Amino acid sequence: MTAPLTDSVRRRLADAGCVAAPCDVYVGDGARFYDDLVGPDRSEIREVLEVARRRGPAVLDLAAGSGRLTLPLLRAGKEVTALDLSPDMLARLRAALPIAVSCELVIGDMCDLDLGRSFDLIVLGATSITLLERPDRRRLFTAVRRHLGAGGSFLLSIAGTAASVSLRASTDREITVGPTVYLQSQQVEAAHRIVNWMPLPLPPAPGPARVLTTRLQLVDEATVADELRDAGFLPPDVLPVRSSGVAPGEGMVLLHARPDTEARDDA
C-alpha cells in the first residue's frame, strides 16, 4: 500500500501547481530506484557473513529485495531461500543471479511464514524490521522461531544509537541517485516516519510529479530485544556493524537471537 506524502512535499507540489503521482518505493519503478539507492551500501554484509559462516548451509533471507544479502550469501556457499512481498524486487534479484546458481525465490509475507522446512540461519537485513508494526513483529518472531532448526538462529539489523537520533527528526535534503537529484523528505509522526523521494526539478504544472513513498516504524534496539524474548528467544547478542563515518555500532547493530528451548511453542 502506498504511504502518504509528507507535509513538505505537499507544500512544494502546491507551490509548483503540480499533482502528485505517488508510488510505493518497492513497486514498479520504485523497485528500480530503491535498488539504486541501497544496493551500493555494503553495511552489515561483512558482519552477516561472519555469522553465516558459523551456521549450517540453509539460510532464509527475509525481505530479500534485489539480493543485497542474498547474493553474498550465495557466493559464500550457502543454500539461500529469498523471500520478499514485492514481485518487482524479486524480479531484480532473479535477473542478478549468476548462471547456474540455484536460489529459491518466494513471493510472500514474512509475517505469515509457512515454508514447511527449517533453516540454520534466518536473516532480516537493511533494518527492514521497521516496516512492521508491533503486532506484525510479534507474528514474524513467532513464525521465525517455528522455522529454525536445531542450533539455528535469527539475525536482524536495527539502527544504532547515532542513527536512531537522526531517524526521529523531520528533515528535507537533496540526494543524487544515479543521474537524478531527489528531494528526500522525512516526516516523523508519533511512532512512525513517512519518507518520500521526489525527482527534481519538478515538471511544469500541472505535473504529474512522481513521488516514491514508504512508511516506517520508529523502533529501537531495546524494544526489539524485549519483543524477541517475549516471542521465545534468549536475550540477543548485540553485534556492532562497521559503517562509514561513524563508530562501529553507531549507525547499525545486528541482533543475533537463538530460540529459548525451554520456552513454550506458543510464546
CATH code where residue 228 lies:
3.40.50.150
Q: Both 78 and 64 in a single domain? A: yes
Q: Both 125 and 15 in a single domain? A: no
pLDDT band at 100 (very low <50, low <70, confident <90, very high): confident
Lowest mean pLDDT, pick from 13-17, 152-156, 192-196, 245-249: 245-249
Share of the chain above pLDDT 90, in %: 82
Q: Both 119 and 190 in a single domain? A: no
Residues 6+ apart with CB under 8 A from 159: 127, 130, 167, 220, 221, 251, 252, 253
Q: Both 103 and 202 in a single domain? A: no
Closest listed residue to residue 159, CA positions, set 234, 102, 243, 232: 243
d(CA 6, CA 39): 25
User: How many CB atoms within 10 Å of residue 29?
Assistant: 12
pLDDT band at 245 (very low <50, low <70, confident <90, very high): confident
Q: Both 129 and 186 in a single domain? A: no
As for how many domains the chain has, the answer is 2
Cell of 55: 551456521
Domain interval for residue 144: 38-159+219-257
Q: Both 179 and 98 in a single domain? A: no
pLDDT band at 267 (very low <50, low <70, confident <90, very high): very low
Q: Is the pLDDT of residue 203 over 90?
A: yes
Parallel, antiparallel, or unpaired for β 104-107 and 79-84?
parallel
Does the predicted TM-score (pTM) go above 0.85? yes
Domain assignment present for residue 45? The answer is yes
Residue 265 has a pLDDT of 59
Residues 6+ apart with CB under 8 A from 37: 177, 197
